[in-house]
Structure 1
Amino acid sequence: MEPVDVEGLGLHDYHEIIAKPMDFSTIKKKMNAKDGSGYKNVREVYSDVRLIFKNAMKYNNEKHDIHIMAKSLLEKFEKKWLQLLPKIVQAENEQLKEEAHMQMEKQLAQEAAYANMAKEISLSLCEVEVHLKNLKEMVIEKCRKISLRERLELVKSFSRLNLDNLNKALQIISEDDPTFKPNDQEVNLDLDKQTDYTVWKLNVFVKKALQEQEKNAAQDPNVNRNGNIEEKKNTNKRRKL
């Protein structure tokens, strides 16, 4: 019922034989513990109760009364345990289901929180994008207008663009001009009808694209001055501008 009084009983070799002493008062304290040091489940209680009898049997030889009584009590306890085991298993299964349900609810709550966060970030990014576009337009309005000579040079530069860059340039126009159809086989482009903002964007893009094409042509002799791989021209597939 209480911890073994090793010194009072003169059991000087007790701790050499018994690695983990156990008694019912210690079990009761662990069952009532509120600081998290107690038992996590009923199987831990079962293990410590068995340990009480096992320790008594281990320390005392088989013919000793304590060994015999401990063995008898252990057998009775095991029978009681087997009677309780179905209820214990049922309780454990219900606990597992409850924990799984709680985990699922927690996961769903986290996913909902992440979804709301993603929505808020998306809205914020849209607002930033609008502000940036307005800022760009404001900057362009305050910049000088592109001269006629620069416009003519820009038009000439279109013919030097490879197909990929040409499509990107036309896409820039369609972003600001919904009526413009960049995917037609033959495209009519009038820069005078485009806003200064669009023309400035085109001018910057075309210059950068041509520089990149010239760089690629210098590095690869199989690339012509327009940045295209040399091949037989197919007039049926060429786009007209």
Structure 2
Amino acid sequence: MLFFRQITQHKWAWPFMQPVDVEGLGLNDYYEIIDKPMDFNTIKNQIEAIDGTGYKHIREICADVRLVFKNAMKYNDERSDVHVMAKTLLEKFEEKWLQLLPKVTEEETRREEEEAEARLAMQLAQEAAHAKMARDLSNELDEVDAHLEELREMVVKRCRKMSTEEKRNLGAALTRLSAEDLRGALEIVAQANSNFQANADEVDLDIDAQSESTLWRLQFFVRDALEVQSKNSGSVDGDENPNNKRKSDLCDAIAKAKKKKAKKPT
């Protein structure tokens, strides 16, 4: 640092080059008056430090240079040589600092811009990495869903033919579903029959007309739904359920379907 070398090479800099020899000079009250001792050799070591413990900014150096002189002026009487030398060198230092300040400010601005650009680049890189991770995870989940659907279809296709009694029990189980679960069950039927309207006000569901695949998918869905519904049965009173009217209408439709089926020969 040019300004630091200039101030340390002044003919009056010698009293401030090394730490104050408190014991040798018998300055018993020195540490009571001076909170943070400082000297030019300590500053030089901090400037040259390569282990990351040194100064991070030129303003830190300037603060310690000022501290050297202010300590000397604080401890020594203003009529003493050391006090006068410290005061004179501090004034010269401040003159040098004012000349250097525009360049320091310019460097600070440039560094702040570079740091801001680096932070932005890091943020964009992190966002891109997170987006890629989200896409990869979404693709993996889609693959898992597709595989599960294939396995489900494979299991359904290998199921035996549903008996008349099982169909009757399935129809009865459908009437015990909540309105939301009943809509889910009807959507299963709609997936196999494009003409079936799962959201119609009145539903005419013929159990015997459904494919074996649809019947078993309904069986699995109804079983799981009723298990969950049984666990949660105490949380909402049936008379206060806002879906009760919709559920009643759908259940009536299922009942009509059962009556229609009952008329057919078995």
- TM range, normalised to the smaller chain? 0.7 to 0.9
Larger mean Cα displacement after TM superposition, 61-70 or 90-99:
90-99
Structure 1 partner of 2:126: 110
Larger mean Cα displacement after TM superposition, 120-129 or 188-197:
188-197
Alignment partner of 1:150 is 2:166: yes
Question: 2:201 and 2:238 mapped to 1: Cα distance?
Answer: 30
Identity of aligned residues (%): 51
Structure 1 residues 73 and 135: CA distance shift in structure 2, 3 A: same
8 Å contact from structure 1 (residues 223, 229) kept in 2: no
- AA aligned to 2:87 is K
Task: Pick the aligned partner of 2:94 from 71, 74, 78.
Answer: 78
Question: How far has the Cα of 1:88 moved from its partner?
Answer: 1.5
| Residues 166-181 of structure 1: pairs in structure 2 closer than 5 A | 166-181=182-197
Alignment partner of 1:21 is 2:13: no
Task: Pick the aligned partner of 1:222 from 225, 239, 245.
Answer: 239
Question: 2:222 and 2:191 mapped to 1: Cα distance?
Answer: 16
Structure 1 segments unaligned to the other structure (5+ residues): none
- AA aligned to 2:145 is E
Question: 2:51 and 2:203 mapped to 1: Cα distance?
Answer: 79
Structure 1 residues 121 and 176: CA distance shift in structure 2, 3 A: farther
Question: 2:210 and 2:238 mapped to 1: Cα distance?
Answer: 37
8 Å contact from structure 2 (residues 40, 65) kept in 1: yes
Question: How far has the Cα of 1:10 moved from its partner?
Answer: 3.6
Structure 1 partner of 2:27: 11
Give the paired residue count: 232
RMSD across aligned positions (CA): 3.3
Structure 1 partner of 2:57: 41
User: TM-score normalised to the size of structure 1?
Assistant: 0.79
Question: 2:28 and 2:238 mapped to 1: Cα distance?
Answer: 94
Structure 2 partner of 1:95: 111
| Residues 229-240 of structure 1: pairs in structure 2 closer than 5 A | none
Question: 1:210 and 1:122 mapped to 2: Cα distance?
Answer: 30
Structure 1 residues 162 and 17: CA distance shift in structure 2, 3 A: closer
What is the SS of the residue equivalent to 2:123? helix
Larger mean Cα displacement after TM superposition, 21-30 or 107-116:
21-30
Task: Pick the aligned partner of 2:136 from 120, 125, 129.
Answer: 120
User: TM-score normalised to the size of structure 2?
Assistant: 0.73
Question: 2:43 and 2:152 mapped to 1: Cα distance?
Answer: 75
8 Å contact from structure 1 (residues 30, 39) kept in 2: yes
Name the structure, 1 or 2, with higher relative contact order (CA <8 Å, separation 6+).
2
Larger mean Cα displacement after TM superposition, 77-86 or 96-105:
77-86
Larger mean Cα displacement after TM superposition, 49-58 or 78-87:
78-87
What is the SS of the residue equivalent to 2:19? coil
8 Å contact from structure 2 (residues 37, 68) kept in 1: yes
Structure 2 segments unaligned to the other structure (5+ residues): 1-16, 258-266
* Cα deviation 1:180-201 (Å, max 9, x = unaligned): 4323445554445544332122
* Cα deviation 1:78-109 (Å, max 9, x = unaligned): 22212222222222122111111111111111
